[in-house]
């Protein structure tokens, strides 16, 4: 009689192989999870390093000394351009303009003045020049200081006001402050007032450490007299 071959060992072998495959699959999954976690950590570290680098650059830029803003009182081109922009406003284009009472110029480029409406000469409005743009402000009552200041006596054609004169006034003030003051004050404000139709440029006074002087200017902003006080 023939012996029937045993079949238990092939089954056990297959079972062992399946167990090995399962273990390898589990190990690979564990390895894959570890690699994925490592990648996430590496990406997070790179992001933090980049953020730290950007923050360091920003701190370095913030600590760098900033160039001082230009003093526009000495910038004739800026001043002349501001005047041209005012004349080019749609409500004024082609119209002769008059200014009322005074015009103020500041070192940061701001200009404040009051304009007589060319279409309604009894109306006056504030206009301001800031960051290179003219804007209309509040209406002005020209009789608020009458009879000392009136629309008739204290108005002048804008054509008579040369904005470039501001730079000459500022230069004269700087020169005399440098001579009279140990620590000269920077020129931050120049203005012109209209009195009986005539222009008077200010400030005129320079207060030194030991003496003061009064400057007188002509219509072109040139110093015509220096009086000690």
191 — pLDDT class (breaks 50, 70, 90): very high
User: Could you give the count of Cα atoms lying within 13 Å of 165 in the half-sphere of its Cβ?
Assistant: 22
Of 51-55, 79-83, 88-92, 189-193, the least confident = 51-55
pLDDT tens for residues 32-58? 666 576 666 767 777 777 777 777 776
CB under 8 A, 24+ apart: contacts of 159-162 = 159/96, 159/97, 160/199, 160/219, 161/83, 161/99, 161/103, 161/192, 161/199, 162/220, 162/221
pTM listed for this prediction: 0.72
């Amino acid at each position: 009689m023939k012996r029937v071959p045993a079949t238990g060992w092939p089954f056990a072998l297959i079972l062992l192989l399946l167990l090995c495959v399962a273990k390898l699959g589990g190990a690979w999954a564990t390895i894959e999870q570890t690699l994925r976690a490592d990648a996430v950590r590496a990406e997070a570290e790179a992001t933090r390093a980049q953020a730290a680098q950007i923050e360091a650059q920003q701190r370095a830029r913030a600590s760098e000394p900033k160039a001082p803003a230009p003093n526009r009182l000495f910038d004739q081109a800026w001043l002349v351009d501001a005047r041209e922009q005012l004349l080019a406003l749609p409500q004024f284009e082609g119209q002769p303009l008059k200014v009322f009472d005074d015009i103020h110029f500041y070192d940061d480029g701001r200009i404040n003045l009051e304009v007589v409406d060319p279409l309604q000469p009894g109306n006056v409005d504030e206009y301001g020049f800031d960051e290179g743009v003219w804007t209309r402000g509040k209406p002005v009552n020209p009789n608020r200081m009458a009879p000392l200041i009136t629309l008739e006596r204290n108005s002048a054609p804008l054509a008579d006001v040369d904005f470039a004169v501001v730079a000459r006034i500022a230069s004269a003030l700087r020169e005399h402050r440098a001579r009279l003051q140990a620590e000269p004050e920077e020129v931050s404000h120049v203005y012109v007032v209209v009195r009986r139709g005539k222009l008077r440029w200010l400030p005129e006074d320079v207060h030194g450490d030991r003496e003061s002087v009064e400057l007188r200017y002509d219509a072109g902003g040139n110093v015509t007299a220096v009086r000690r006080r």
